[in-house]
Amino acid sequence: MRTVPATCRSCGKCVRPAWRHVTTARRFSVSDTGEPILVVKDLVKHFPLTQGIVFQRTVGHVQAVDGVNLELYPGETMGLVGESGCGKSTVSKLIMGLEKPTSGQILFEGKDVAAMSRRELRRYRRQVQIVFQDPYASLNPRMTVGNIVAEPWDIHPDVVPRKERPRRVRELLDLVGLNPDYANRYPHQFSGGQRQRIGVARALALRPSVLVCDEPVSALDVSVQAQVMNLLEDLQDELGLSYLFIAHDLSVVRHLSDRVAVMYLGRIVESGTHADVYDQPAHPYTQALLSAVPVHEPALRGAKERIVLTGDVPSPADPPSGCRFRTRCWKAQQICVDQDPALVDRGQGHPSACHFAESVEIVHTD
């Protein structure tokens, strides 16, 4: 346990609003044992596929998540990246308890969430919060912004005393860069970027330590994406949050991630530090994703080889035998059909699930 003097990091004299003072001070007394705060162990979620109207029978399973392992350390950002339909949102729903795993474990501060007492579960539900992808669908259009942000306190009333709530709502709106006077407005009166800020304020209301961000900027205009990303980065610095940051594009999480896991068809195919994955990717799928990152500088266009993946992502209800990526991989051989490659380090310094893993040096031209 690292104990650093609990003074306000920003001012040193606690002249900031109470909200910021409390959270900033909390950061410095956070348990820092070098242990991950959140661990996902062999997580599996298979959705049954049913047929029939009156008598429903199971005819198969959608293997949405099939043996995912992740570790999130205090204060870090873990990027989870993969194409649409690869199981990212299912991972986030399993972590949030919105879906029940078929098998596997989720550990918070070393404790299995499935074996937690009511009290521990309550604390877990406070400590781990989510920011959803769609800021239009995730806010109740009939509630004022103030009530949306304050809603989590109805379930956890001990976090903020009732009479302090209006003031705390204003502080939260201020924290996410919104005018506190907007607390009485309704979601439709805000732009997409502003709505996502409201979603972030609501997620912060319970003073969480982990934020699962499920593609929080994908539904926003490109010009607004950077503003929301910068806000999340500032909040992490200020509040010491840990992020599991989900994106379908490696470029989105590039500036934020400390470590990255790349997902394909329900499994992690490569994971490593920011430098491992962005500068020396070993798995062909990661290499293809990185080659698709657009080059902004006109003079440098054509300087990097573009790998175009052919074919669609196979159905998770009937994934290919052996390596799941083999139907789209230009390096595939017979062993890839016969043997499922384990996610291990094959000499590249970080794990990848490929029989023929080899680091490719990426020259970033953007």
- Interface residues toward ligand SF4, by CB under 6 A: 284, 323, 325-326, 329, 331-332, 336, 341, 354-356
Determine, following the binding rule CB under 6 A, whether residue 64 of this chain makes contact with ligand ADP: yes
Return d(Cα 165, Cα 160) in angstroms, integer: 6
Q: Which one of residues 68, 86, 113, 252 is an interface residue with ligand ADP (CB under 6 A)?
A: 86
Choosing among ligand SF4, Mg ion, ligand ADP, none, which partner's interface includes residue 323 (Cβ < 5 to 8 Å by kind)?
A: ligand SF4
Site string (19-58) toward ligand ADP, x via CB under 6 A? ----------------------------x-----------
Determine, following the binding rule CB under 6 A, whether residue 88 of this chain makes contact with ligand ADP: yes
Q: Which is nearer to ligand ADP, 82 or 146 (CB)?
A: 82
Judged by phi (left if over 0) then psi (alpha if -120 to 50, else beta), residue 9 lies in alpha
Choosing among Mg ion, ligand SF4, ligand ADP, none, which partner's interface includes residue 60 (Cβ < 5 to 8 Å by kind)?
A: none
Choosing among ligand ADP, Mg ion, ligand SF4, none, which partner's interface includes residue 87 (Cβ < 5 to 8 Å by kind)?
A: ligand ADP
Residue with tokens 């900031």: 16
Determine, following the binding rule CB under 6 A, whether residue 79 of this chain makes contact with ligand ADP: no
- CB environment 18-30: b (16+ within 10 A), e (fewer): ebbbebbeebbeb
Q: Which is nearer to ligand SF4, 95 or 357 (CB)?
A: 357
Determine, following the binding rule CB under 6 A, whether residue 126 of this chain makes contact with ligand ADP: no
Q: Which is nearer to ligand SF4, 19 or 325 (CB)?
A: 325
Query: Nearest distance from residue 85's CB to ligand ADP, in Å?
Result: 4
Return d(Cα 252, Cα 234) in angstroms, integer: 16
Query: Nearest distance from residue 334's CB to ligand SF4, in Å?
Result: 10
Determine, following the binding rule CB under 6 A, whether residue 173 of this chain makes contact with ligand ADP: no
Determine, following the binding rule CB under 6 A, whether residue 272 of this chain makes contact with ligand ADP: no
CA distances from 190 to 120, 177, 183, 187, 200 (A): 37, 13, 11, 6, 14
**Residues 2/34, Cβ–Cβ less than 8 Å:** no
Return d(Cα 14, Cα 55) in angstroms, integer: 64
Radius of gyration from C-alpha coordinates of the chain = 22
Determine, following the binding rule CB under 6 A, whether residue 316 of this chain makes contact with ligand ADP: yes
Q: Which is nearer to ligand SF4, 154 or 305 (CB)?
A: 305
Choosing among Mg ion, ligand SF4, ligand ADP, none, which partner's interface includes residue 131 (Cβ < 5 to 8 Å by kind)?
A: none
Contacting residues toward ligand ADP, per CB under 6 A? 47, 62, 64, 82, 84-90, 316
